Amino acid sequence: MDLLILGGTVFLGRHLVEVALRQQHQVTLFNRGQHNPELFPQVEKLRGDRDGSLDILAGRRWDAVIDTCGYLPRLVNASARLLANAVECYVFISSISVYAEPPYEGMDESAPLSSMEDETTEQISGETYGPLKVLCERAVEDVFQQGALVIRPGLIVGPHDPTDRFTYWPSRIARGGEVLAPDDPSRLTQFIDVRDLAAWIISLLENAQSGTFNATGPATPLTLGELFTCCREVAQTDATFTWVSEDYLLANNVAPYTELPLWLPRADAAWEMVSIARALAQGLTFRPLAETVSGTLAWDQSRPATTPRRNGLSPERETALLAAWHSTTTLNVQR
């Protein structure tokens, strides 16, 4: 196949390029060249901003385009219309954040989608991110119809993750000692290794698939307790886990999913129980959890120690929270 990738040098994009090249496909990248421009010297690179420089794509043909960086409907619509006669398939990387609240266990691709009053807004926030992705999906589907392939990932994890939302746990547990763990070891969690996601997306294109798919994992339910134990076994440390109640975390303004990655309050827990039956039926597979943990940890440890971490508790904040938790529980016992 001859593939055009919008983006292609950050996280999922770079893994998509690696898989495509390994499968002997031709790849052209269109991006601004601001992130990791040294990657993939053997690949054709078209430089430009999708808000004004799309004309560089005009007059070319590819078998498919993969849009890894579409967030604003106006820009996605412009990309789709310009490429309408240039590609057979438009792959749009969306998000499970498109679903309307409240979430419910087993939510599949037919679940209600989120919306917003002002569909012209281009301010991306926690409230608008999902509705904007919905509008982006519609822009692609309006133009490509049966040629649209919409992927709705959950949390994407693994090497080169710029968010640290999963990386925090292998890294923190590798340091050993007492680890503040959220709420209950039986709480479920969902995520997908970026390498598995990239390989599956390329395989969908190779098999001329279209439609909409939730894409998270694993194939069977995974608890936080199982994940943390796996992290400890991979890192071979003496880490112990202190499971701190949700009420305490919320009372102390611990931010879900950012300060404590993978933790959501129970009212939002259904976001971690999304159905992926359709993706499994189309060949989505998962590597062993230990491979995801070890690959993430190895990459994280290759970074400079001074690399700022975007998410997770600081050591000082964790220590203070644990001390206050132990003081509270001791006081309750004495009473």
Looking at the structure, tell me whether residues 319 and 173 fall in a common domain.
yes
In this prediction, residue 335 carries a pLDDT of 32
Q: Does any domain span residue 62?
A: yes
CA 179 to CA 172: how far, in whole Å? Answer: 8
Looking at the structure, tell me whether residues 32 and 145 fall in a common domain.
yes
Q: Does any domain span residue 278?
A: no
Does residue 107 have a pLDDT over 90?
yes
Looking at the structure, tell me whether residues 115 and 45 fall in a common domain.
yes
CA 108 to CA 214: how far, in whole Å? Answer: 7
Q: Are 68 and 54 in contact (CB under 8 A)?
A: no
Q: What are residue 65's DSSP bridge partners?
A: 4, 90
Output phi, psi for 255, to 5 deg: -80, 120
Q: Does any domain span residue 280?
A: no
Looking at the structure, tell me whether residues 137 and 184 fall in a common domain.
no
Looking at the structure, tell me whether residues 36 and 149 fall in a common domain.
yes
pLDDT tens sequence across 264-298: 999 999 999 999 999 999 999 999 999 999 999 99
Q: How far is CA 12 from CA 66, 94, 194, 241, in A?
A: 11, 12, 6, 31
Looking at the structure, tell me whether residues 138 and 239 fall in a common domain.
no
**What pTM, to 2 d.p., does this model score?**
0.96
Q: Are 90 and 211 in contact (CB under 8 A)?
A: no
Looking at the structure, tell me whether residues 173 and 144 fall in a common domain.
no
| Amino acid sitting at position 272 | E
Q: How far is CA 324 from CA 82, 86, 188, 317, 320, in A?
A: 58, 60, 26, 11, 6
Q: Does any domain span residue 279?
A: no
Supply the range of the domain harboring residue 228: 168-189+219-273+288-334
Looking at the structure, tell me whether residues 8 and 129 fall in a common domain.
yes
Return the closest-CA partner of residue 64 out of 38, 97, 93, 37. 93
Residue identified by tokens 């999906």 is 137
Work out the average pLDDT over 106-115: 97
Residue identified by tokens 């949390």 is 155
In this prediction, residue 331 carries a pLDDT of 47
Q: Are 52 and 68 in contact (CB under 8 A)?
A: no
In this prediction, residue 330 carries a pLDDT of 62
pLDDT tens sequence across 41-91: 999 999 999 998 999 999 999 999 999 999 999 999 999 999 999 999 999
pLDDT tens sequence across 161-173: 999 999 999 999 9
Query: Helix (H, G, I), strand (E, B), or coil: what is residue 32?
Result: coil
Q: Taking the CA atoms of the chain, what radius of gyration do you get in angstroms?
A: 21
In this prediction, residue 43 carries a pLDDT of 98
CA 190 to CA 192: how far, in whole Å? Answer: 7
| Tokens describing residue 175 | 């340091």
Number of structural domains, the chain?
2
| Tokens describing residue 165 | 């939302």
Q: Are 324 and 252 in contact (CB under 8 A)?
A: yes
CA 261 to CA 245: how far, in whole Å? Answer: 15
DSSP structural state of residue 255: P
pLDDT tens sequence across 212-248: 999 999 999 999 999 999 999 999 999 999 999 999 9
Looking at the structure, tell me whether residues 147 and 172 fall in a common domain.
no
